[in-house]
Amino acid sequence: MVSDKFRRDLRKEASLWQAEGLIDRAVYEQLAERYQFDSLESVASHLFVTILLGLGGILMGLGAIAFVAANWQEWSPGMKLMLLLGFCVGANGAGFYLWRSPMEKRQRLGQGLLLLGALILGALLGQISQMFHQSGPFYQLLLIWGLGVLAMAYSLRMTSLGVMAVLLVAWGYFMGVNELFSTQEFFWLQLLLEHMPLLAGLLLVPLAYWCRSRVIFVLAALTLIPALFFNSVAFPTIWMVAIACVLPPAILWGYDDLLWPKVDSRSFRFLARAIGIIYLSIVFYLCSFNWFWQDFSLSASGNNRVWLLLDVAIFSAIALWEWWQMARPSSRHPHRWGFDLTTSVMAGLIVVTASVFLWQDSSIFVPELATFIFNLQLFLLAAGLIRVGLLRGGRGSFWGGIVLLTLQIISRMLEYNTELLLKSLVLVLCGVGVIAAGLWFERHLSTVKPSEED
């Protein structure tokens, strides 16, 4: 879909082209009809009205909250429950009615009321638990609240509700993640904590496709990947630590939207791979410090919840299946098995990372060599990103590689004992190098046709 900014710029340029005689009136009218120049002013007006409605709704909501807070202690529990229930039903009912209206302004107001109703739902759940003396950790309330909003998001197909639902589920998970490492009495909501990777994969990721939202996909991935990491390291063995370091990037790099049923476009594959590279960069950077391997040790754990490994096993199988699909011949090359160059390099980095962690458990392990290997991998990853940025005209890849390379140089300089004058020289050279590389890249970018990574 063409953005409003592009249409405004095109209208301005088309007017100049007509004034300079490059195009005639008929061509200008065709452009105006195709890109709907006449609707630009109404779009700006609708945005202004939406901002006013949103600001007014926030002020009204704050006023209502202040009124309730002033009288909250004087009201009985039943009165509080009825009030919150009335607000929740009223906001959701009015929001749903306006949201179904054919008028855009009413639809936007309806969306705001539905979002307000989702917020009131949390207060209602808290009041119900207080009335029936169901006290518990705050993360349990957040998880139940998030599931309720998630049901609303699926039923209404609203991106704002979807973002709110993912944020609530993620907030509840990260607040209660310590329960994975404790031996406290079992509670049924702990199932959500223990199997958050499966919950995110089955409920949060499909919501991104249902709402067609990249924001929801990124938030869902940022919930799933840490959950998978925590499930792995809950059993502190060297095998599980190795899996925790290599399984998330393997899943993310092998992710393909076309593997989902009824999906015919790769809407989020690029995002998944970008998150995978960021994860691998963090692992390489942490492991590039000498102190990491000198102080590396695993403490015994009393965790006996073997069901945590179910999620790890399932996602390990998914990763193997994804890489098998990538290695299979494509329609363009029906007789060619294997990976392309970029995927082959990523596979090599993942295999070497796992091998070094497994090697750490042997008696012939050399910490200095492990440090050197991860510094080399970090350099290769940075160089690869710069290369991809130059070949495909991608600013994100190029600057990501520059940042990684600069960070590696500065970290090595600060980690080891060097003279202050040398540190100053390195910092100045890094600054000059970044400026020179950026100016050269912008000049080079004009000769390269930008393309999105597959």
Q: Look at the chain and report how many structural domains it folds into.
A: 2
User: In Å, what is the CA distance from 431 to each residue of 400, 404, 420, 438?
Assistant: 15, 14, 17, 11
The pLDDT profile of the chain, 454 residues, written as one tens digit per residue, is 456 667 777 778 888 887 878 787 888 788 877 777 666 555 555 666 666 666 776 676 666 666 666 665 666 767 767 777 777 788 778 878 877 777 666 777 788 788 888 887 887 777 777 666 566 678 888 888 899 999 999 998 888 889 999 999 999 999 888 776 665 555 677 788 888 999 999 999 999 999 889 999 999 999 999 999 998 888 878 888 899 999 999 999 999 888 887 887 888 999 999 999 999 999 999 998 888 888 777 765 555 567 778 899 999 999 999 999 888 776 665 666 677 888 888 999 999 999 999 888 777 888 888 888 998 899 888 888 888 887 777 778 888 888 888 888 888 877 776 666 666 666 677 677 767 766 666 666 666 554 444 4
Kindly state whether residues 420 and 316 are assigned to the same domain.
no
Tell me if 165 is assigned to some domain. yes
Kindly state whether residues 206 and 328 are assigned to the same domain.
yes
Among 330, 365, 400, the domain-final residue is 365
| Residue 410 Cα to chain centre, angstroms | 28
Kindly state whether residues 331 and 237 are assigned to the same domain.
yes
Among 337, 365, 393, the domain-final residue is 365
Kindly state whether residues 347 and 382 are assigned to the same domain.
no
* Gap between the Cα atoms of 184 and 65, Å rounded: 37
Tell me if 163 is assigned to some domain. yes
For residue 388, give the nearest of 357, 358, 360, 346 by alpha carbon: 346
Tell me if 23 is assigned to some domain. no
Query: Tokens representing 147?
Result: 């599931």
Kindly state whether residues 219 and 321 are assigned to the same domain.
yes
For residue 408, give the nearest of 428, 394, 396, 426 by alpha carbon: 426
Query: Tokens representing 390?
Result: 């130059």
Among 315, 340, 365, the domain-final residue is 365
Range of the domain at 391: 378-454
For residue 68, give the nearest of 83, 89, 46, 57 by alpha carbon: 83
Tell me if 9 is assigned to some domain. no
The predicted model scores a pTM of: 0.78
The secondary element (H helix, E strand) that includes residue 98 is: helix 77-99
Tell me if 327 is assigned to some domain. yes
Tell me if 186 is assigned to some domain. yes
Tell me if 135 is assigned to some domain. no
Kindly state whether residues 282 and 206 are assigned to the same domain.
yes
For residue 130, give the nearest of 78, 169, 64, 87 by alpha carbon: 78
Kindly state whether residues 154 and 239 are assigned to the same domain.
yes
* Gap between the Cα atoms of 269 and 250, Å rounded: 13
Tell me if 223 is assigned to some domain. yes
User: In Å, what is the CA distance from 50 to each residue of 100, 109, 116, 119, 359?
Assistant: 17, 8, 15, 19, 59
Kindly state whether residues 359 and 434 are assigned to the same domain.
no
